Structure 1
Amino acid sequence: MIADDDPAGDWTAPGVYRCAPGVYRIPLPLPNDGLRAVNVYALADGDGLTLVDAGWALAQSREQLETALAGLGAGLGDVRRFLVTHIHRDHYTQAVVLRREFGMRVALGRGEQPGLEVLHRARPGRSHHREQLLGLGARDIVRELDKRTPHTDDPSEYEYPDEWIDHGAQIVVGEGSPDRRVLEAVATPGHTRGHVVFADPAGELLFAGDHVLPRITPSLGLEPVPSASPLSDFLTSLELVRSRPDAMLLGAHGPTGMRVHQRVDELIAHHAKRLDTTLAAVQDGHSTAYEVARVLLWTRRDTAFGDLDLFNRMLATIETGAHLEVLAERGLVTVEDRDGIRHYTT
């Protein structure tokens, strides 16, 4: 049964939810992940479907996707194409695995190519972020990572897409049918280098991936080849989206229904405040990203750094490094590399 999407409901509950004419939200599970679910959006495409994002290549995710598509009178073989916003595993890997079986096409932002190349030649059992964390002064986190049974990304789940999406590309969905729509691809680097969102001006919709999320702030720099300044990229991308006509936000994690401009303004304000608290920590004598991250509060619940799990401590440290780089770009802190560790002072 297809239900109209309810922003006040449990957005993670399995099912199919109509969020606009010919557009359906399908939440898929993320086991052992604090995000709990990822939203995949199914768009009517003639006698088939185009899906925005794909989910994580897990048996439970596939089963729920099959069940949801059945509710639309379709099956996995009716998916013509995946439009993927970025290469994180909960968005990309299921598209790659299903393509082998059903032959649908997979499209991804061109800026993700360097990251895919690294994933293809990754060393088993070694974190992509080990050297990055060492440079941020997070030796304690690296020691914990080294002691744990490592999660190893399967290179076969990161095969190259059938097509690369460039900024400004016009993507036609439902050619020759009443459901025809034209999506504009907008490059929004920040969360990852090659992140793209898909704007539907006619429907006043924005398929925002992880660039604009309704309840949380996207992570920054968590990718195999991070840019020199992920936060700077992210803020520039937010301003770009803010300069476009307002739309309904269709994000990858969280409920629908919010307006894009409202949430972008909130995200910009959040990072302005975060830059202030980060600068204050440096002024108090904390000089590395790890030292600064440890004295800041995290998540919407103002959780202490020490109360975060290992993965989220890693995220927090990397994100703090991104804020420190913006402070350096603005001339508010100075940077010195000592023994391979980046130090910031005022």
Structure 2
Amino acid sequence: MPSSTSSTSTAHAISPDSGTHWSAEGAWRVAEGIHRIPLPLPMDGLKAINVYVIETPDGLTLIDGGWAITEARELLDRCLREVGYGFGDIRRFLVTHVHRDHFTLATVLGREYGAEVALGLGEKPALELLNDENLDRNPFADVLVTAGAREVADQWVAAQTDEKPDLSLWAFPTTWLDGDHRIEVGHRTIDAVHTPGHTPGHFVFAEQQEGVLFAGDHVLPTITPSIGFTVPPPATLPLGDFMASLAKVRALPDLRILPAHGPVSPSSHQRVDELLAFHEHRLDLSLVSLAGGARTAHVVAQELPWTRHDRAYTELDLFSQGMASMETKAHLELLVAQGRATRTEDADGVIFTAAP
């Protein structure tokens, strides 16, 4: 949503492993025994998700799986065959988080071919909600109402189809990842690091000997991941969680970033520093807005610039307006936790006021 401090846009980024646009088709070698395969995201501004393939003597481990759509499945099959493998060689998926472009193709292929699917334990409430037979409304509507965006919530609900989630895409994983720990992947030892923020159960995977960080959506090289847009119940302080997780990754050695979206990038330390500075600036801008009086997150969002082009809130599409309101609420809640603002609740949502 909001622009980051990266000087290169996602739309024009060249990845050093391929020498071409980062979303170009192929199984691109990023290190010995590791390939990056971009899979398509139709109707999504990000264009693609990078799935990473790690070769081992016993078969393949994939970091993320892609979105369970025909185009992505066929492309993954084709690219795996380019490097001498097929779906039957996949032994395990290490999924960074529960969003559909990371999780759903992993769970489909895992079920079909008997591969392990590992996911962070913090994602369990989201899967429980999606598998609830009584789910009959958009689960984000109440979150938008608390952000003061009732009109946006009503439009989201009106745009929702009557179709239930396809539960074949949202099966529970075979393994829950719980807390920081190490995973043996062939001859490699990978550090599974819990990094809540973008989602409660987000994990990154660090292979320190190779010097790479499978960063999921936690550290993206050209954009900032959305904060506050998670399946209810929402985290109390998602931005606080995210910034603490960034600090945790900053404490690791400086690693090459292998992101879910965007090009392979040289320095996790540099990018983490940029992301932390970016959100500190957004906090300051949010506080400036509160200096004008008590406001909901929806009102503050309308006073902030959005995307790398500093667009006005009114220039955003309906979905992005809802995302902006939820992300702004995450910033305002952190200001309250820091003692820089106060909050009260009424029928119009949570009202935030600058602290004296």
Shorter-chain TM-score range: over 0.9
Does the alignment pair 1:52 with 2:45? no
Q: Which residue of 2 is the match for residue 139 of structure 1?
A: 150
The superposition leaves residues 173-194 of structure 1 with CA deviations (integer Å, 9 ceiling, x where unpaired) of: 12xxxxx101010000000000
Answer with 264-273 or 325-334: which moved more.
325-334
Which residue number corresponds to residue 165 of structure 1? 177
Q: In 2 relative to 1, CA 8–69 (structure 1 residues): closer, same or farther, beyond 3 Å? A: closer
Shift of 1:14: 1.2
After the TM superposition, which residues 180-195 of structure 1 pair with which residues of structure 2 at under 5 Å, given as runs?
180-195=187-202
SS class of match (1:344): strand
Partner of 1:177 in structure 2?
none
- Asked if the contact 2:37–2:76 (Cα under 8 Å) also holds between the matched residues in 1, the reply is yes
Q: Provide the rounded CA distance (Å) in 1 between the counterparts of 2:180 and 2:299.
A: 41
Match for residue 11 of structure 1? 22
Is the 8 Å Cα contact of residues 212 and 255 (structure 2) preserved in structure 1?
yes
Q: Among residues 190, 199, 205, which one is paired with 1:198 in the alignment?
A: 205
Contact 1:121/1:155 (<8 A) preserved: no
Root-mean-square deviation (Å): 1.5
User: Over residues 288-319 of structure 1, what are the superposed CA-to-partner deviations in whole Å (9 max), with x where a residue is unaligned?
Assistant: 01011111111111111111112211111110
> Partner of 1:298: helix, strand, or coil?
coil
Whichever residue aligns with residue 99 of structure 2, its letter is: H
Deviation at 1:47, TM superposition (A): 4.3
1:68 pairs, out of 63, 70, 79, with 79
Question: What residue identity is the alignment partner of 1:227?
Answer: A
Report the Cα offset of residue 152 of structure 1: 4.9
Aligned to 1:130: 141
1:239 offset after TM fit, Å? Answer: 0.5
Deviation at 1:149, TM superposition (A): 4.0
C-alpha offsets along residues 99-118 of structure 1, whole Å, 9 cap, x if unaligned?
22111110011111122111
Q: Secondary structure at the match of 1:250?
A: strand
* Distance in 2 (alpha carbons) for counterparts of 1:238 and 1:263: 10
1:34-53 matches, within 5 Å, as 34-53=45-64
Q: AA paired with 2:293?
A: G
Mean Cα deviation higher: 198-207 or 5-14: 5-14
Structure 2 residue identity aligned to 1:40:
V
**Residue aligned with 2:302, SS:** helix
Segment of structure 1 superposing worse, 222-231 or 60-69? 222-231
Residue identity matched to 1:280: V
Given that 1:214 and 1:258 are in contact with CA atoms closer than 8 Å, whether structure 2 keeps it comes out as no
Distance across 2 between alignment mates of 1:325 and 1:46: 48
Task: Check if 1:213 corresponds to 2:224.
Answer: no
1:249-260 → structure 2 map (5 Å cutoff)? 249-260=257-268
Show the counterpart of 2:288.
Answer: 280
Aligned pair partner of 2:240 in 232, 257, 278: 232
How far does residue 245 in structure 1 lie from its aligned partner after superposition?
Answer: 0.9
**Paired AA for residue 197 in structure 1:** V
Mapped to 2, the partners of 1:146 and 1:167 lie a distance apart of: 35
Q: Does 1:100 align with 2:111?
A: yes
- Alignment-mate amino acid for residue 169 of structure 1: H
CA gap 1:183/1:37 in 2 versus in 1, 3 angstroms: same
Report the Cα distance in structure 2 between the residues aligned to 1:37 and 1:78, rounded to whole angstroms.
Answer: 23
Verify the 8 A CA contact 2:219 2:271 in the aligned structure 1: yes
Give the C-alpha shift of residue 231 in structure 1.
0.1
2:141–2:154 CA contact under 8 A, matched in 1: no
> Is contact 1:192-1:226 (8 Å) kept?
no
Mapping of 1:12-31 within 5 angstroms?
Answer: 12-31=23-42
Offset of residue 168 of structure 1: 2.4
How many aligned positions are there?
A: 338
1:231-270 alpha-carbon deviations (Å, 9 max, x no partner): 0000000011101111000110000023100000000000
CA distance in 2, matches of 1:142, 1:40: 33
* Structure 2 counterpart SS, 1:49: strand
Match of 2:11? none
TM normalised by structure 2 equals: 0.92
SS class of match (1:297): coil
Higher RCO (Cα < 8 Å, 6 or more apart): 2
Aligned to 2:168: 156
Tell me, which stretches of 5 or more residues in structure 2 are unaligned? 1-14
Please, which moves more after superposition, 141-150 or 273-282? 141-150
Name the counterpart of 1:82. Answer: 93
Question: Which whole-Å CA distance do the structure 1 matches of 2:37 and 2:283 have between them?
Answer: 35
Q: Is contact 2:18-2:28 (8 Å) kept?
A: no
Q: After the TM superposition, which residues 291-310 of structure 1 pair with which residues of structure 2 at under 5 Å, given as runs?
A: 291-310=299-318
